Amino acid sequence: MDDKDLGADLANVLIPEDRLQAKIRELAGRIDTDYDGRDLLLVGVLKGAVMVMADLARALHAPVSMDWMAVSSYGSGTRSSGVVRILKDLDADISDRHVLIVEDIIDSGLTLSWLVSNLQSRNPASLEICALLRKPEAAQTEIDVRYVGFDIPNEFVVGYGLDYAEKYRNLPFVGTLAPHVYGGRE
């Protein structure tokens, strides 16, 4: 994306591409150490986790499989309610497998806590979470997120998988939107 496009839609680059990629290599190093060559099943949550999943998987030395879930959380407006519907379930049976959920961002944590109890009920050998981004409110939930990329301020971010109205997912960095994009005033 050139500077002209950037200026039009984005207010600010919060995390540039090189910092994202360095962090993913760091997380991959920790995951390789922790799993020590055990077979690992990465479970990506569509669609936001596509970019982090693709880069994390390639940075890992551990043998991995990848599977995907798509969920939608009912809620009014932009708040998620914690009532979750499965749009696409896993293909794999995860019983007795080492499962690592790969998420783009944790805000309230309601979606993720539902997902954790759903997957836990399928009796995996282990279940951990890797989230690229975490907002302040997530600290108030009981979810134990083993791998966190960045703690970010309570702002709406896009890029690197994250969308606003299905756009901006393909940006290689994480940024904030200019107010005019979502109808605010500048």
- Residues with a known catalytic role: 107
Return all residues near 127 (Cβ < 8 A) that are at least 6 apart.
99, 100, 101, 116, 119, 120
> Which two structure tokens, joined as six digits, stand for 145?
């997120």
The pair of three-digit structure tokens given for residue 92, joined into one six-digit string: 């794999």
Query: Whose Cβ is closer to ligand 5GP: residue 6's or residue 82's?
Result: 82
Q: Which of 80, 94, 100, 147 binds ligand 5GP (CB under 6 A)?
A: 80
53 binds ligand 5GP (CB under 6 A): no
Residue 48 in contact with Mg ion, rule: CB under 5 A: yes
Backbone angles phi, psi at 146, to 5 degrees: -70, -40
Q: Assess 158 for contact with ligand 5GP (CB under 6 A).
A: yes
- Which structure tokens are listed for 71? 């969920």
Binding to ligand 5GP by residue 156, rule CB under 6 A?
Answer: yes
Name which position in 48, 124, 149, 175 contacts ligand 5GP (CB under 6 A): 48
Q: Are 31 and 18 in contact, with CB atoms under 8 Å apart?
A: no
Residues that bind Mg ion (CB under 5 A): 45, 48, 104, 163
